[in-house]
Structure 1
């Protein structure tokens, strides 16, 4: 392509590999040699059915998804899953424990940022069970109200037999993430969970999906992710759900559970191979191209190594800026995200100068979320190490210029 492309550090919809975009452009005109574009072809065609099966296999292979789990493709993003998870897992709990009253059913939520907080609020709105906040990162924050940390293990209090246990692995807005080093105090405390062979453990992996391996994937009941971070365009939600959580929601409703809309019932998607209605065909297509490329590069192990180098470089220059009194990270050491690094540029007018200078160099979408402010650097898989180096070089140059200005 002759046009110069910007470096998109946006938090989502986010960057996609240029080679994938070029291939997708060809597919818009002619998908799989059919002479029909991907945005036009029937989702019931044999060519698309074969492609959809390949997308599922690419995820299963690269994440080592066991046969105990089904992979579903839906729409509605994480927000729809806030509701779907509650409704499906409460239906499961009703079938397992039909005689319990609603006030005796419990849903555990670990709140570490904006998205897990929103998920817990939706669960409370839907009702059907009590909400237990198993841990709240605001309690262990620097000021008692911010999401700047992953709580230490002694801060968790899980219920004995909850209908679900929910956490968000990476908080896109706040820039905190659970460590995947199980020895680290910032890791998810799997060892504290109820001793149940089939734990109702749910994880939002939207902004870290396919960026590194998922610890103890097989122990999860549901893992879900919006595609628009590391995998593809907005419009697709990927769900990895354990088969015992795909229940007859109508049978549960007869026992008193809330009716589950067909568009949110996992059973309807599982029985119809993710096509109870027309799926997000184009989003699935681009995601499949991304996953093919990921496999060719070495899968999540490859990205884990690259992403670690990328985040180490950005956190290093952030540390240098903090020593100079020009930058300030929002997150406690050890809790920082690999995917979304958030910080403040100190001094009057400095943030505007920082963003303008980055924009002039073709680095875009660095402004922080409206609820947090500051700067947010999103280092998703499609951001290369070379592009990360360009950002780091720019930050170092900016720090040098600001130091000279302040000393003159």
Structure 2
């Protein structure tokens, strides 16, 4: 099962980025725009970085058609930091919030919200998706929170839930969400994109740190303190790459389906089975890495195997993975 192809990255977290973008980053790394300095050495208030910051914001607004009455913020702290930022900024409106708890990530968000006010949650048994007709929503909630796609649990909302005039907060950070319905990762770790309606600003709790205060961050154009400049820089390049290649609509048409042919259907059934063999899974990862196929191990909380097919992944990449999986099943699977 030997192969000489370059590394294939099927990671679900930090994931594959377009080769064209990585090449540009490489070319500019030692001297950004012939300044003789790397971008990571420059002041975050330099004209060079300010231009990157402004262009990234403009690209998000253009690609997603963000209305003018919404602010686009670049925050630090990852998803977990944002779990806290949301109630700290929004729950103060009425002192309570609703959470649709449909899996691991929304459960973490709800647990964080419990530190700052009252909240109700609509639970599921993680086997059956919750029908909205069964939800009990608080009409006086500050917001309704949901996670569009629970990557750990394999649950994705089929449509945007009806919040009945209550502000809706959506975690769109995972695959097949938001602009991430194209490539999930639009840059390296270190930056979170928050889009918030202007009339929801100005209600942060007094205990809210200024670096997480949406109102303050908006006023400071996401440069209250030293931001993750390199992450924003790469993100801006990926956004421009998306624009160059036809925008969000074009990216959506290029998404690699999970059911290309009978072989993929067969293998995904094998990978997604609930009766996984841990030793066989370890062998699968080991053999895959010999072929330079990386990050196929499932999330640490559930184990198993997971292949994330983001837009930087090509059809030929998937075909190589499928070929390996079929061969692996023939060699290690049940014998007729």
The equivalent residue for 1:310 is 257
* 2:278 is equivalent to residue 278 of structure 1: no
1:99 aligned partner: none
Local SS of the residue matching 2:145: strand
How far the C-alpha of 1:35 sits from its partner, in A, is 2.6
- Structure 1 CA distance, aligned partners of 2:39 and 2:64? 26
Which secondary structure state, in structure 2, belongs to the residue aligned with residue 235 of structure 1? coil
Pick the aligned partner of 1:357 from 264, 283, 287: 287
Asked if structure 2 preserves the Cα contact closer than 8 Å seen for 1:230 and 1:381, the reply is: no
- Residues 103 and 152, structure 2, Cα contact 8 Å, conserved in 1: yes
> Of 196, 202, 206, which residue of structure 2 is paired with 1:247?
202
The 3-state SS of whatever aligns with 1:406 is coil
Aligned residue number for residue 91 of structure 2? 90
The residue that corresponds to 1:158 in the other structure is 137
Where 2:54 maps in the other structure, the secondary structure is helix
Q: What are the ranges of 5 or more consecutive residues in structure 1 without an aligned counterpart? A: 95-104, 139-146, 180-186, 214-226, 250-256, 330-342
Q: Matches of 1:281 and 1:59 in 2, distance apart?
A: 17
The answer for unaligned runs of 5 or more in structure 2 is: none
DSSP-derived class of the 1:189 partner: coil
- Render the CA deviation track for 1:35-78: whole Å, top value 9, x for unaligned: 32110111111122112111111111111111111100110011
TM-score (norm 2): 0.90
RMSD: 2.4
Runs of 4+ in structure 1 deviating by more than 6 angstroms, as ranges, are none
Distance in 2, matches of 1:118 and 1:306, equals: 32
Paired position in structure 2 for 1:211: 180
- Please say if residues 294 and 300 of structure 1, whose CA atoms lie closer than 8 Å, have aligned partners that are also in contact: yes
- Is the 8 Å Cα contact of residues 232 and 290 (structure 1) preserved in structure 2? yes
SS in 1 for 2:130: coil
1:356-395 equivalences in 2 (<5 Å): 356-395=286-325
1:396–1:176 CA distance, 2 compared to 1 (3 A) = same
Return the offset for 1:348: 7.1
For residue 265 of structure 1, report the CA deviation from its aligned partner.
0.6
1:184-224 CA deviation, whole Å, 9 max, x = no partner?
xxx2332xx22x2xx321111112342338xxxxxxxxxxx
Kindly indicate whether the alpha-carbon contact (under 8 Å) linking 2:298 and 2:305 is maintained by their aligned counterparts in 1: yes
2:235 alignment counterpart? 287
Instruction: Report what 2:160 is aligned to.
Output: 188
Instruction: Please tell me whether the aligned partners of residues 44 and 227 of structure 2 are also in contact (alpha carbons under 8 angstroms).
Output: yes
Distance 1:354 1:291 in 2: 34
Distance (whole Å) between structure 1 residues aligned to residue 35 and residue 271 of structure 2 = 54
Structure 2 residue 185 is the aligned partner of structure 1 residue 230: yes
2:76 is aligned to 75
Q: For the residues of structure 2 that align with 1:50 and 1:328, how far apart are their CA atoms?
A: 45
Tell me: higher relative CO, structure 1 or 2? Use CA pairs within 8 A at least 6 residues apart: 2
1:108 is aligned to 2:64: no
Against the structure 1 CA distance between its residues 150 and 383, is the aligned structure 2 distance closer, same or farther, given a 3 Å change threshold?
farther
Does structure 1 retain, via aligned residues, the 8 Å contact 2:123–2:130?
A: yes
Contact 1:310 1:388 in 2 (8 A): no
State the alpha-carbon separation in 1 of the partners of residues 70 and 294 from structure 2: 38
